[in-house]
Amino acid sequence: MDNAGKEREAVQLMAEAEKRVKASHSFLRGLFGGNTKIEEACEMYTRAANMFKMAKNWSAAGNAFCQAAKLHMQLQSKHDSATSFVDAGNAYKKADPQEAINCLNAAIDIYTDMGRFTIAAKHHITIAEIYETELVDIEKAIAHYEQSADYYKGEESNSSANKCLLKVAAYAAQLEQYQKAIEIYEQVGANTMDNPLLKYSAKDYFFKAALCHFIVDELNAKLALEKYEEMFPAFTDSRECKLLKKLLEAHEEQNSEAYTEAVKEFDSISRLDQWLTTMLLRIKKSIQGDGEGDGDLKSGILRRKWAITYGTFGNMAHLLLSSLPVGISYEEMICTEQVPLPSLFHNQPNVLVCKRGGVSVLML
């Protein structure tokens, strides 16, 4: 059966389901067998939804699953209702992100009422990801990651909670909410440093917390570094701690070349990701004021070809222009344009984007 045939069959099933729902509302049916008609309608809506899915009519599939979910709730079948709302959300994700969020929120309400907080947390993550990738509303994504973390903590799923909190911290720092990022990185670092399986990651969290301190104030960074070494002695011998000490010394001396050289040395062994690069560049700008000398980084941390693959928002890949030094020559740009996304970065609206699957290379 082709897609058109599947859609026709699905439409017929929807019509039959609606007839059964109407029949269940009659007085005699209400006395004798009303629930049976509702159950049959539920099954038909679900079958119709699956037929729409096979035909790739995602909106129709989502609507059919929603109808089934509402009838399951009418039958007091909470679990089946929540499952159908989730199925509806998964279908809507491919066609209507906001409606997908509405369905997933409906499922979350049911799961929390049932005390199924771990499942509710999982769906909060799904909603956060939709806000990240489709609706580009990072503030709302942060809120759902935080809610997910709260639910995981309540269920003693600390590892899952930490993963959500780290997403919050990364975005908070990008949005210049440094104190919030610091508190999270310190909290997660403290939670992991005594765990034999996770303690290796603690140095990364303290490193990121120290960078956030550094952006705000050099003295804060020095005091934080001393605290982290005292809390976690293994941090002292880490490459991250040694880098921080070199950066603090270079910053105190207002020595841009020493700063760049220290970062270059670190980057030659451990490649810096976009987040770290952005934070290090923000710190460097404070050495010579208003970003002077950023071009020197072309011979440091950014001296290589960078394919723009950092994160995706909908069908776009993105790279913050502010994470690149001034004066870079964009020698090759394929399928790129600049667009304003003020809701993502309130003080850094210019974002370089390219279509997913396209190629954009910066020759640095």
Tell me the per-residue pLDDT of 181-217, one tens digit each, with 9 for 90 and over: 999 999 999 999 988 888 889 999 999 999 999 999 9
pLDDT attached to residue 37: 85
Q: Which residue has the higher pLDDT, 97 or 353?
A: 97
Cα atoms in the 13 Å half-sphere on the side-chain side of 159? 5
Taken in order 16, 19, 21, 27, the sign of the CA dihedral is negative
Q: With a cut of 80, say whether residue 317 has pLDDT above it.
A: no
pLDDT attached to residue 364: 27
- Extract the tokens encoding 33: 């067998």
Angle between helices 274-285 and 256-269 (to 10 degrees): 170
Closest-CA residue to 58 (of 91, 31, 14, 84): 91
Confidence band of 26 (pLDDT split at 50, 70, 90): low
The superfamily (CATH) of domain 178-303 is Tetratricopeptide repeat domain (1.25.40.10)
What DSSP line would sit under 52-98, residue for residue? HHHTT-HHHHHHHHHHHHHHHHHTT-HHHHHHHHHHHHHHHTTT-HH
DSSP E strand boundaries for the chain: 306-307, 312-313, 316-320, 336-340, 350-355, 361-362
With 0-12 / 13-18 / 19 or more C-beta atoms within 10 angstroms meaning exposed / middle / buried, residue 300 is: buried
Domain boundaries, the chain: 178-303, 305-364
Largest CA distance in the chain: 89
Q: In terms of residues, how long is the chain?
A: 364
Considering 4-13, 95-104, 304-313, the range whose residues carry the highest mean pLDDT is 95-104
Confidence band of 24 (pLDDT split at 50, 70, 90): confident
Considering 25-39, 231-245, 338-352, the range whose residues carry the highest mean pLDDT is 231-245
Taken in order 183, 186, 188, 194, the sign of the CA dihedral is negative
291: how many CB neighbours lie within 10 A of its CB?
17
Q: With a cut of 60, say whether residue 243 has pLDDT above it.
A: yes
Mean pLDDT of the chain: 80
Q: Which residue has the higher pLDDT, 229 or 3?
A: 229
pLDDT attached to residue 29: 52
Q: How far is CA 339 from CA 136, 160, 294, 319, 351, in A?
A: 13, 34, 23, 12, 6
pLDDT attached to residue 23: 78
